[in-house]
Amino acid sequence: MSEWKELLDFLSKTEIKNFIQEHIDSDINKLLLNHPSTIAPYAKEIVAQIQARQKAKRKLDPWASNFDLIFPPPISVEQASSEQTANYKKSVYSGNHLVDLTGGMGVDTITLSDHFESTIYIEQQEQLVEIFKHNCKVLSKTIETQYISAESYLDQVNKKNDISFYLDPARRDEAKNKVFNLEDCSPNMVELQAQLKEIGGKVLVKLSPFLDIKLTLKKLSNIKEVHVVSVKNECKEVLVLIDYSFSGEPDIKTVNFDHSNQTFNFKISEETTAQASFGQSKKYLLEPNASILKAGAFNQVAVHFDVEKLHSNTHLYTSEKIVPNWPGRTFEIVDPHPDKNSINQFAENGFINVITRNYPLSPAALKKKNKVRDGGEFFLMGFLDVSNKNNLVIAKRVHSTID
């Protein structure tokens, strides 16, 4: 029996699962230094289970609350998709046979398998393979596993097969430092694409939210769609869907999961030719969500929703009326020219939210200058307008029909 199987057997004991559940909110450092003898000889591994569940609690609640599951090391949990983003992938990707070339924790593998007739999990770390096998049994999932690297697996695949691939390249180098360029991730998708193209089919790649989308479009071929996925206005993933039977310009699809789903789709050529109108700030200020800002739909969103942009480099928009289905946040200006006294008046107990766009002071500097902290009902917003004048206004959030 391998050491990993011995560890899994130990972690599967009822008394150990109970211990993890009882200490799920404990300070892991204190627990590691002062632990009972009952969890030896795997005290470090048990504490790591608690730490991993603490990291997964918000984004993977069903997993974190299932104490029959065994978690991989915390770093694998960090890179794993949330339940919401994994379900989104399932909504845009399906087929007959799926191969996950970078299995990891396996959240995406298990979720995507619902929309494929058969699924294979590929992973080059034995520990992760054994944990995934255990969790598949717990979740009653029938998924083939192979302890092999992505590159070695592809070497043995027959060409022109009806296979859909999924990749989530590791975004850390050998020294565990974060990397963001495609070529620096493992496996190297730029190098693999020729081999994947020979096999044919489709490939869905999960990439860093910090990735340069236009540069990615140049480095990878046959891209059919790019999905920019945000949760609560924080960009979480950039998904690239490659279809080796597709040629043409890809669709850029943005989604933000907040109170409801905000979506906006466009093409790069549309953004290039779109001519936004510019104007001074009116009654309402409109801020696009994080996915639109990441995707770079700065002009197209203005044209589509018939709103004015405040400045070519200020990604805030304005309108005299509420814009239905605006994919972002809407603010109503309540003081267009605030002074120190009015800022203090709206900043209840020193709390007012601060936002700056193309403004000389950062939010932190503006908060320090006015001796305020983020919070409360109102927003202090600084921006450069079409006349190249720096503006400071006080506004309040308005909930339109979608946000």
| Domain-embedded: residue 261 | no
In this prediction, residue 58 carries a pLDDT of: 83
Q: Does residue 178 share a domain with residue 86?
A: yes
Q: Does residue 379 share a domain with residue 313?
A: yes
Q: Does residue 279 share a domain with residue 236?
A: no
| For residue 38, pLDDT beyond 50 | yes
| For residue 265, pLDDT beyond 70 | yes
| Domain-embedded: residue 254 | no
Backbone angles phi, psi at 209, to 5 degrees: -65, -10
Q: Does residue 170 share a domain with residue 60?
A: no
Q: Does residue 203 share a domain with residue 88?
A: yes
Q: Does residue 380 share a domain with residue 296?
A: yes
In this prediction, residue 174 carries a pLDDT of: 63
Tens of pLDDT, residue by residue over 74-122, are 888 888 999 999 999 999 999 999 999 999 999 999 999 999 999 999 9
Answer for the pair 281, 393: CB distance below 8 angstroms, yes or no: yes
Number of domains in the chain: 3
In this prediction, residue 205 carries a pLDDT of: 97
**The domain boundary residue, chosen from 38, 71, 104:** 71
State the pLDDT confidence band at 201, using cuts at 50, 70 and 90. confident
Backbone angles phi, psi at 361, to 5 degrees: -100, 140
| For residue 371, pLDDT beyond 80 | yes
Q: Does residue 131 share a domain with residue 62?
A: no
Q: Does residue 169 share a domain with residue 153?
A: yes
**The domain boundary residue, chosen from 45, 71, 97:** 71
In this prediction, residue 173 carries a pLDDT of: 63
Cβ-defined contacts of 97-100 (< 8 Å, 24+): 97/161, 97/162, 97/163, 97/164, 98/163, 98/164, 98/165, 98/166, 99/153, 99/163, 99/164, 99/165, 99/166, 100/165, 100/166, 100/167
State the pLDDT confidence band at 367, using cuts at 50, 70 and 90. very high
173-177, 178-182, 261-265, 276-280: segment of lowest average pLDDT = 173-177
| For residue 175, pLDDT beyond 70 | no
In this prediction, residue 402 carries a pLDDT of: 45
* CATH number (domain holding residue 179): 3.40.50.150
| Domain-embedded: residue 253 | no
Q: Does residue 191 share a domain with residue 324?
A: no
Answer for the pair 280, 323: CB distance below 8 angstroms, yes or no: no
Tens of pLDDT, residue by residue over 300-349, are 999 999 999 999 999 999 999 999 999 999 999 999 999 999 999 999 89
Q: Quote the mean pLDDT of the chain.
A: 92
Tens of pLDDT, residue by residue over 236-262, are 999 999 999 999 999 999 999 987 789
Domain that holds residue 22: 3-71
| Domain-embedded: residue 266 | no
* Residue 45, number of CB atoms within 10 A of its CB: 16
Return the structure tokens found at 300: 């197209």
| For residue 403, pLDDT beyond 50 | no
Rounded to whole angstroms, the Cα distance separating 130 from 143 reads: 13
Q: Does residue 180 share a domain with residue 112?
A: yes
Choose the most confident range, by mean pLDDT, from 40-49, 159-168, 276-285: 276-285
| Domain-embedded: residue 264 | no
| For residue 40, pLDDT beyond 90 | no
**The domain boundary residue, chosen from 71, 101, 117:** 71
Q: Does residue 154 share a domain with residue 301?
A: no
Strands 308-311 and 314-319: antiparallel
Q: Does residue 91 share a domain with residue 10?
A: no
79 or 352, which is more confident? 352
Q: What percent of the chain has pLDDT over 90?
A: 80
* Terminal C-alpha separation, the chain: 54
In this prediction, residue 52 carries a pLDDT of: 92
* CATH number (domain holding residue 56): 1.10.10
In this prediction, residue 63 carries a pLDDT of: 95
Rounded to whole angstroms, the Cα distance separating 105 from 242 reads: 23
Backbone angles phi, psi at 231, to 5 degrees: -130, 120
